[in-house]
Chain A
């Protein structure tokens, strides 16, 4: 039998799943992950949630400072410049960098204060962004694995038609030994013939069972 069993899709690593969620896989890798996800709906649901969140995040516009915030920034800059111009006549030769540093620090502090999120400016409420659940198109059919299917009866000549599933008879055939068998009762057939039994371990030359 040429077929090798147990070649079903293996579980992708967390990194691979993350790359799939981010849309970074090539076609072949993406197909392989999608096939695996088709048989693992819980993980597929989780990945879908991550992708929905990513799409919603990408659609979210960058927050722009309000007019009041801009006003505070402008006021802070003007105050810093005014302080610098006042200090200019009194500046000490040799230390101009101190005034410049102080002015820059003040301006930066004003910018920070204006943009600090804690005293968030009251803005018009925006409608919450609801991630659109993409309707899966052409979702692949989930395939059963060898663990999902147990083949009970099959014609021997049809075994090579199996794609998934292990036939009941697996090679090599292992014969039971004397210690494996306990005969509890043997009844003769209608014509009084008793079956002959042997195991390969205790009968080096087993008799022909067809002989009486």
Chain B
């Protein structure tokens, strides 16, 4: 066996070993990500149609904004967001929301994040997993609809 074949064999073995060691590491990094689901809702007072999925959100919104009677789901996006990183989520009409995961799940499974919507300041909060947190925005669409978003984090320690 020539020296070159030995070297090639050693290099291949090294690559395989490195691959085996790297893949689990990468998986652990993904496990630390928090999945964020952000839905954009357009609401107005011109109709009564409420998306069935938005019934509960609409009920909460109408407690403070009873004139809003129509709620439609505009966009829904889910992205894994690494802790300490930010991601942009498309809303409507080229508008975007920026979500930053400030801290991962604590002992109670709550996540700290910051949300920045169009025409509003950054808002930091902690929330549990699996439930949508609705928020009004000041943005009005071309159809004069009010833009709302609802943010949900999941995959927090299996939740």
Asked if A and B are interacting partners, one says: yes
Give every chain A residue within 8 A of B121 (Cβ-Cβ): 154-155, 157-158
Q: Which B residues from 127 to 159 make CB contacts under 8 A with A?
A: 127-128, 130-138, 148, 150, 152
How far does the alpha carbon of A161 sit from the alpha carbon of B122 in the complex, in Å?
12
Q: Which residues of B contact A98 (CB under 8 A)?
A: none
User: Count the A residues whose beta carbon is within 8 Å of the partner chain — how many?
Assistant: 35
Residue from the list B39, B64, B110, B112 in contact with A2, Cβ < 8 A: B64
A163/B135 in contact, CB under 8 A: yes
Q: Knowing A140-B53, A149-B126, A155-B121 are in contact, say whether A35-B59 is a contact too (CB < 8 A).
A: yes
- Measured between beta carbons, the chain B residues less than 8 angstroms from A32 are 59
B127 touches A149 (CB 8 A): yes
Q: How many residue pairs, one in A and one in B, have C-beta atoms under 8 Å apart?
A: 110
Name the CB-closest residue of A to B123: A154
A164 x B133 contact (CB < 8 A): yes
Task: Evaluate contact between B124 and A153: CB separation under 8 angstroms.
Answer: yes
* Interface presence of A151 (CB below 8 A): yes
B61 touching A161, Cβ below 8 Å? no
Indicate the size class of the contact surface on chain B: 35 or more
Q: Is A142 an interface residue (CB 8 A)?
A: yes
Query: Nearest-CB distance from B118 to chain A (Å)?
Result: 12
Assess whether A7 is in contact with B59, with CB atoms less than 8 Å apart: no
Query: CB within 8 Å of B: which of A145-163?
Result: 145, 148-155, 157-158, 160-163
Instruction: Using CB atoms, name the residue of chain B closest to A39.
Output: B131
List residues of A whose CB falls within 8 A of some B CB.
2-3, 7-9, 31-32, 34-35, 38-39, 138-145, 148-155, 157-158, 160-165
Contact sample, A vs B, 17 pairs, CB 8 Å cutoff: A34-B56, A38-B56, A39-B56, A141-B132, A141-B150, A143-B60, A143-B132, A143-B134, A144-B128, A145-B131, A149-B127, A152-B125, A153-B114, A158-B121, A161-B138, A162-B135, A165-B125
